[in-house]
A and B are shown apart, each in its own frame.
Chain A
Amino acid sequence: MGILEVKDVNKRFGGLQALGDVNLSVAENTVHAIIGPNGAGKSTLLNCLVGKLIPDTGSVMFDGQSVLGRTPFEINQMGISRVFQTPEIFGDLTVMENMLIPCFARRDGSFALHGIRSVTSEAELRDQAEQMLEDVNMLDKRNMHSASMSRGDKRRLEMAMCLVQNPKLLLLDEPTAGMARADTNNTIDLLKEIKETRDITIAIIEHDMHVVFSLAERITVLAQGTPLVEDSPENIKGHPKVKEAYLGEAA
């Protein structure tokens, strides 16, 4: 039994079968990559996991509980954090404030009236946030207005916001899209370090095969809404079906 079990999930948008009988099992404490050509249904699948979309049929179990019918914030409280394809951060807030929101969410749940206590008095959470910022090399930017940062920094901040929650499952939607090579390598190093130091399961959707093969322990190839093969990276590399899906039959 994996920590995430997707069974017979179907999702249809009008005449388009976006997902057809998807079965996926992500084992605990592994890095599982989901790859596939454009339009394969990767993002649809991800949206079904976090409560943004509800599958027409099938079940999605996380840690023994169904996530279907739950709202995104409830699913996050279960232990799933998500990094978006384009960085989603609180642009009007400073970097430190961005980090504190997930800290509050983890400590106080989905809603808490904090009375008139001051943010500055939350020493423990500030320490956690600063520690996390240091891990992603952003401590010097903590008082920056987050909207004014570079795209790479925004992405690192979003990753840090997810990680500071200590999620059981981290979902990454193309975490290195649009990044410079150096930033991509930094992200790979960061994720490797996280994997080694924490009990965390990572599911990653990625186009960059360099990233996929440096991180993934298990790879699922999705094509036209159905999983084609699931195997270790070594076996995926030379798999004829995968080549066919990416390059067309002639290859």
Chain B
Amino acid sequence: MFGLNKKDGSLLLLVVALVVFAPFLLNPFPESSGWAQFNAGYPDLMQRFVIFGIFAIGFNILFGLTGYLSFGHAAFLGVGSYAAMWMFKLFGMNVLPALALSVVTSGIFAILIGYVSLRRSGIYFSILTLAFAMMSYSLAYSVLATDMDGPDKQGLLQKGLTGGETGLQLTQSDPRIFGAQTTADGNIPVPSLFGLEMRSATELNVGDWVFTFSAGYYFSAVIMLLAFYLSIRIFRSPFGMVLRSIKSNQQRLNYTGMNPRPYMLAAFVISGMYAGLAGGLMAAMDPLAGPERMFWTASGEVVLMTILGGVGTLIGPVLGAGAIKYMENIISKINSDILHSWFAFLPDGLEDIVVTMIYPFIGKGWHLTLGIIFMLVVIFLPGGLVQGGQKLAAMVRRKKTDDTKTATTEPAE
């Protein structure tokens, strides 16, 4: 199917099904139940799942296949966001040209950064990419945020190219030469796909459940599925095999007549373009781009996502992105009142002790929880969540064969 073998084909179908039915799958708890806060089926979070999924899929093409750990991938995310914002400001609110510009701009950035960084390998490569990303951050934060046109002009560059600390925002005075400067009711127009607004959504009420279908989510989801499909094809192509051989033995590759450097650069640029696409989508879902998107913690986050899900696996990065974004948004919402209501059944003194012990791990302390889970995964499941899934599946299978064995042998005894 689509040039994939049976296993990859069914994986793709599974991901398609999960993505299409995500509004249901992520909303398992009725609105009025106490568990409703664990529902993740709202558009904002689902969009983040798929957008960071794209980011991590791209990162995995570099890190998973070649083993080169880039610590500055957030730079491409930021570049993608700024590029999309400028497309919205100058030309119009259609998301497709904005995404195209995001991908192209981040690709050009990746060629420059990759060309220099790939002269070194190992830790030096990581440090070089980190340095470039932090330089991009400070460019966006201050250098490119100075007033570049006079006060008497229309003010397009009044806050520079990047808008500095407050970020790049849309205004009613943006030219938008192929679109309307303002909507009929005097507001700033929102990103759309040929008129279909990204923030538009329909709700479906079934009993106590509310399912939200958002245009933005489904648009991002389609892009994510295309990106996922492309990554499977890259993994299974001769190009992907050469990338894996770079990770395995670069010396042998050299003496086998292949030049590793352009392969590395191609992988770096592809992965940078994935990041740019994710950045552009972020701007398309919420038209605002700030420099913090390029900060080193954002680069670290995608490393965590990939390792948590499973480095070098096809589906791992998507799972990792989902797991981290879920924790960031759900665990951080739990507060001490909610904890008290959970443990209300305990005697008063004990309740306070339990709540005090758990409290550091929730709310703003969700990073602690993430850290512990990350440590556990790295120590016990070096292959990430994917390895966990495989182990579970193997256990179930073994149990099944054991059952059938006993079932067939017992009558004989």
B265's nearest neighbour on chain A, judged by CB, is: A111
**Contact flag A73-B255 (CB < 8 Å), given A90-B245, A93-B248:** yes
A76: chain B residues at CB < 8 Å are 254-257
**Contact flag A111-B255 (CB < 8 Å), given A92-B244, A101-B241, A118-B3:** no
Can you name 30 A-B residue pairings with CB atoms under 8 Å?
A50-B255, A71-B259, A73-B254, A73-B255, A76-B255, A81-B255, A88-B255, A89-B249, A90-B244, A91-B249, A92-B244, A92-B245, A92-B248, A97-B244, A100-B241, A104-B238, A104-B258, A105-B256, A105-B258, A114-B239, A115-B237, A115-B239, A116-B237, A118-B3, A118-B233, A118-B237, A119-B237, A119-B240, A119-B241, A122-B238
Instruction: Tell whether, in the assembled complex, residue B255 and residue A77 are in contact, meaning their CB atoms are under 8 Å apart.
Output: no
Binary flags per residue of A61-105, CB closer than 8 Å to B gives 1, else 0: 000000000011100110001101000111111000100111011
B4: chain A residues at CB < 8 Å are 118
Assess whether A150 is interfacial by the CB under 8 Å rule.
no
Q: Give the A-binding residues of B (Cβ under 8 A).
A: 3-5, 230, 233-234, 236-242, 244-245, 247-249, 251-259, 262-263, 266
Measured between alpha carbons, how far is A76 from B249 in the docked complex, in Å? 16
Instruction: Tell whether, in the assembled complex, residue B259 and residue A111 are in contact, meaning their CB atoms are under 8 Å apart.
Output: yes
Assess whether A106 is interfacial by the CB under 8 Å rule.
yes
**Contact flag A90-B249 (CB < 8 Å), given A110-B258, A120-B5:** yes
Assess whether A113 is interfacial by the CB under 8 Å rule.
yes
Assess whether A181 is interfacial by the CB under 8 Å rule.
no
Instruction: Tell whether, in the assembled complex, residue B234 and residue A102 are in contact, meaning their CB atoms are under 8 Å apart.
Output: no
Instruction: Tell whether, in the assembled complex, residue B249 and residue A88 are in contact, meaning their CB atoms are under 8 Å apart.
Output: yes
Instruction: Tell whether, in the assembled complex, residue B241 and residue A93 are in contact, meaning their CB atoms are under 8 Å apart.
Output: yes
Assess whether A169 is interfacial by the CB under 8 Å rule.
no
Instruction: Tell whether, in the assembled complex, residue B238 and residue A116 are in contact, meaning their CB atoms are under 8 Å apart.
Output: no
Give the residue of A89, A101, A104, A110 whose beta carbon is less than 8 angstroms from that of B259.
A110
The 5 closest A-B pairs by CB, nearest first: A116-B233, A76-B257, A105-B257, A92-B248, A90-B248
B234's nearest neighbour on chain A, judged by CB, is: A116
**Contact flag A113-B257 (CB < 8 Å), given A88-B249, A93-B248:** no
Measured between alpha carbons, how far is A108 from B257 in the docked complex, in Å? 10
Given A90-B252, A118-B237, A119-B238, 8 other A-B residues pairs in contact with their CB atoms under 8 A: A71-B259, A90-B248, A101-B245, A101-B253, A110-B257, A111-B259, A116-B234, A119-B241
User: Could you tell me the distance in whole angstroms from the C-beta of A86 to the nearest C-beta in chain B?
Assistant: 11
Count residues of chain A with CB under 8 A from any CB of chain B. Answer: 38
Assess whether A161 is interfacial by the CB under 8 Å rule.
yes
Measured between alpha carbons, how far is A82 from B266 in the docked complex, in Å? 27
Assess whether A165 is interfacial by the CB under 8 Å rule.
yes
Give the residue of A71, A113, A165 whose beta carbon is less than 8 angstroms from that of B239.
A113
B229's nearest neighbour on chain A, judged by CB, is: A116
Instruction: Tell whether, in the assembled complex, residue B247 and residue A111 are in contact, meaning their CB atoms are under 8 Å apart.
Output: no
Measured between alpha carbons, how far is A114 from B254 in the docked complex, in Å? 18
B236: chain A residues at CB < 8 Å are 118-120
A93: chain B residues at CB < 8 Å are 241, 244-245, 248
Binary flags per residue of A109-142, CB closer than 8 Å to B gives 1, else 0: 1110111111111100000000000000000000
A122's nearest neighbour on chain B, judged by CB, is: B238
User: Could you tell me the distance in whole angstroms from the C-beta of A6 to the nearest C-beta in chain B?
Assistant: 19
Instruction: Tell whether, in the assembled complex, residue B241 and residue A72 are in contact, meaning their CB atoms are under 8 Å apart.
Output: no
Most chain B CB neighbours (cut-off 10 Å) among A72, A108, A121: A72
B242: chain A residues at CB < 8 Å are 101, 104
B240: chain A residues at CB < 8 Å are 119
B237: chain A residues at CB < 8 Å are 114-119
Instruction: Tell whether, in the assembled complex, residue B230 and residue A116 are in contact, meaning their CB atoms are under 8 Å apart.
Output: yes
Instruction: Tell whether, in the assembled complex, residue B256 and residue A113 are in contact, meaning their CB atoms are under 8 Å apart.
Output: no
A89: chain B residues at CB < 8 Å are 249, 252
Give the residue of A73, A100, A118 whose beta carbon is less than 8 angstroms from that of B257.
A73
B245: chain A residues at CB < 8 Å are 90, 92-93, 97, 101
B244: chain A residues at CB < 8 Å are 90, 92-93, 97
Instruction: Tell whether, in the assembled complex, residue A88 and residue B257 are in contact, meaning their CB atoms are under 8 Å apart.
Output: no
B255: chain A residues at CB < 8 Å are 50, 72-73, 76, 81-82, 84, 88
